[in-house]
Structure 1
Amino acid sequence: MSVFDSINETSNNAIDAGERYLKSSHEYYRLKIFQQLSVSLSLVFKTVIIAGLTVVGLTFVAIALAFFIGSMVDNYALGFVIVGALFFILAVLCFLLRKHINNLVVSNLSDKFFE
């Protein structure tokens, strides 16, 4: 009966080791999900804050530039039209480079996500 007892003990040890492995794997993945979620949320939060402040700053700079160009050409409306055209040109440029921008964003996010 010693052989059967040895097999029984070995199988019980294997079961215990398997249960410990599953428990530690479950805890690891919970921590990994929490880490990725917190990194993602902080990235979104920082991006929203920085983008909001940048938009406010860019608005003031655009208005100042429009008034400056308007005073240079002695027509404020033309200054605003020129600044609007500059923004339109930037929008078209961003549209043409959208695939490159998407690839850049995805590669940066994947580096952070799969750390």
Structure 2
Amino acid sequence: MWPKTDADVPSFKAGDTITVSYKIVEGNKERVQSFRGVVIQIKGQGKTKMFTIRKISNGVGVERIFPLYSPHIEKIEVNKIGVVRRARIYYLRDLTGKKARIKEKRMTSSSEK
């Protein structure tokens, strides 16, 4: 399995935009494909924890469920930290366009004074 410990897994929550790179095996060929989208839920605990990512591809909403400790996952990157007030943001499924945007948490650097 790719993450040996929990320290290898980045911390993310519902509303964050992440990119998951995972291996796809087709016959004797193997390639890495990335899936970037918004986390709409995290469920389970321990080694059976799973998360669902939603993205819009060619105007169609696509959701994919990943096991967090899958051996096919190469890496997980957190691209944006979103600000939502729910643990499961299923309401995104009904929203389109600008209404489906999630506020981004802005980080301030301590060097700005």
TM exceeds 0.5? no
State the structure with bigger RCO (CA 8 A, min sep 6), 1 or 2: 2
Greater share of helix residues, 1 or 2?
A: 1
Which has more radius of gyration? 1
Question: What TM-score do you get using the length of structure 1 for normalisation?
Answer: 0.20
Greater share of strand residues, 1 or 2?
A: 2
Question: What TM-score do you get using the length of structure 2 for normalisation?
Answer: 0.20
